[in-house]
Amino acid sequence: MKTLIMLGFVAILGALAAAGLFMLRRGGDRKKQGPQMARALAVRVGVSVALFLFILLSHQMGWIQPTGIPMGR
């Protein structure tokens, strides 16, 4: 389970890095940079939402358990 969540975070960071590269790229056709950057950011948002829903589903199904400070302290 930890592996899937880490892969999700890596995919989010990869899409964010790709959007940054498209934004900072010099030269070439500037008309193509905008849609590529927007697509990369849309992928990042989609993967983020999917990861959030996957974590919620995993908690509901009992695949993962919360840890940390007990409630009442």
Q: Each residue of 26-40: pLDDT tens digit?
A: 656 666 677 888 899
**Which of 18, 12, 4, 13 is closest to 54 using CA atoms?**
4
pLDDT at position 30 is 63
Average pLDDT over residues 45-68: 92
**Within 10 Å of residue 50's Cβ, how many Cβ atoms?**
13
Q: Round to whole Å and give the CA distance between 39 and 33.
A: 10
Average pLDDT over residues 63-72: 80
